[in-house]
Amino acid sequence: MPEAGLKNRLRRVALWAGLLLILLLISLSIYGAFIGAESAKGFFNSIPLAVYWLVFAILLILGIALFRQLLCLRGLFLIHLGCIIILAGGIIGSQAGFRIQDKLSGTDTIRTGQMIINEGTTERAVELEDGVIKMLPFAIKLVDFKIEYYQPGQLIISTLNGEEFKIPVQEGQKYVLGDDLGSVEIVRRFEYFKLKREGDKRIAIEDVNGGPNPALELLLKNSDGSEKTRYVFERSPGHSMPDDNLQFSYHRSVKDFLSDVEVVKDNKVVTRKSIEVNKPLHYGGYLFYQQGYDRDAGRYTMLGVTNNKGLGIVFLGYILLCAGVFWHFWLRHLFGDREMED
């Protein structure tokens, strides 16, 4: 029949077009792997690529219409449907997709940027990659910022002739450096070091109101039996006194850094979250993740901001795709999927 012949030709065209688009996708993926992350981001979000994704999605929809047996082969149908939904979510969440949505809705959506929030303050401003500032429809308050370290830290001692000692920080431990260098004892470890004057003396104390100032109190004993006290500060590596023949550094490796935040909308706290690496905050269609922090004083946090519109759709597509693959290869024989005759 002429109609059957036309349908068969359309099927062949759809199959060949699908094969060519898949081969093109492989080629584009290989190309994107060699041009760098930023260039690849711009390339895959360009208008020609947006057209490609749209054509690919239309072809998958056309495939379901042309190959009606897919409706009976549930595994293959779920695979096709999952691919369509993945492409739809990707298009919605792409830069071109955001531009189209903003134009149709008259909004000015934040795509990606960063926020710097001082401890105890509330912030709505997001700085975009091009330096433009945009405002969130809600605010983020940094309640507390914390840095966690691997324990113990290290006391690094360098001699004038280039010799170096690396000593684990343990209070009360004494280490002999040699006959000529004497010994060093780690007397005390501070997190909020401050010198307080009492009469004609200055005493080292912990002052939590003064901000973090990690330090060590050392007792140096020379080979002649004389002793002196030295303070070593984590933020002043290579510290020494004029009469010292040694240089000291206090080093701790950062294990994690956390931002305890509140989301404030209409002057009300709507949610709270402790943001840390690989544990972002999801709210209002945005993803807030730990990007950096104040390494000198730990007074502010730097949060990356990404609009995750379309991400949930992409996840749904992958779930359907995986379910379709599992059904087609492991379950269809048990449930008797049969091809439908045209």
Per residue in 171-226, pLDDT (tens digit) is 988 988 887 888 899 999 998 888 888 877 888 888 888 777 889 999 989 878 88
247 and 285 in a common domain: no
| Domain assignment of residue 341, yes or no | no
Q: What is the DSSP string of 15-27?
A: HHHHHHHHHHHHH
Per residue in 36-53, pLDDT (tens digit) is 877 877 787 777 887 888
* CA gap 86, 319 in Å, rounded: 10
Section 158-165 average pLDDT = 84
Per residue in 300-315, pLDDT (tens digit) is 899 999 888 777 888 8
Domain count, the chain: 3
175 and 132 in a common domain: no
159 and 85 in a common domain: no
268 and 286 in a common domain: yes
300 and 315 in a common domain: no
| Domain assignment of residue 274, yes or no | yes
| Domain assignment of residue 18, yes or no | yes
317 and 287 in a common domain: no
The two three-digit tokens of residue 131, written as one number: 């330096």
Angle at 151 between CA 147 and CA 153, to 5 degrees: 90
CA atoms within 13 A on the CB side of 41: 8
Domain span at residue 64 reads 2-103+310-335
72 and 96 in a common domain: yes
Per residue in 93-140, pLDDT (tens digit) is 777 677 777 777 776 778 889 999 998 999 999 998 888 898 998 999
Helix and strand numbers (H, E) in the chain are 7, 17
